[in-house]
Amino acid sequence: MIARTTFAGFGGQGVLLMGYVLSHGAMLKDLNVTYFPSYGAEMRGGTANCTVTLSDRKIASPVASHPEYLVAMNYPSLAKFEPLVAPNGTIFLNSSLVEEDPQRDDVKVVKVPTVELAREVGSERAGNMVMIGAVCAETGLLSLEETIAGMKAALKGKEKFFELNQKGIERGFSFIKEGK
């Protein structure tokens, strides 16, 4: 098994943290993992993306030619990375911010209204947690418990964020499982 996921968006949307949660969750269940971040010099307002590769075998390249999964948190990310997604892959779209539809007809598209769902659980800032919950629920890469464990490992020392983030992850899972 090998699964490559590219997360992309504006700096400040928690793009790198989504990858970080997935990476920790995968390591905790003894998968091999590489996390490859790429970001501009800016802390906020620039573009950020990271690619996480999970496998039960040795991972050769942390650089992916054609990721199976793309998480696009804004339109520029969709435009930039859509052509690279592997055929029959899945694009997760932050539909709170992106009105456009992907052009490809050989990929599955999952629209997640991250802002609205995060607001339901208490804060729009949990939008990235809603998204990583939706990604894990849809792909089966991590279970709900494994995703929460990954979040807690990724944010070790920042326990005050655990409660809100857990609610966000749970909302992402329920959005996929219940379709709303």
Contact window for other proteins (CB under 8 A) among 6-14, 58-66, 70-78, 109-117: 58-66
Cβ-based neighbour number of residue 127 at 10 Å: 27
Q: Does 64 bind other proteins (CB under 8 A)?
A: yes
Contact window for other proteins (CB under 8 A) among 35-43, 97-105, 114-122, 132-140: 35-43
> Could you say which residues in the range 93-122 bind other proteins, by CB under 8 A?
none
Binding residue count for other proteins, defined by CB under 8 A: 21
Contact window for other proteins (CB under 8 A) among 24-32, 104-112, 157-165, 167-175: 24-32
Q: Does 43 bind other proteins (CB under 8 A)?
A: no
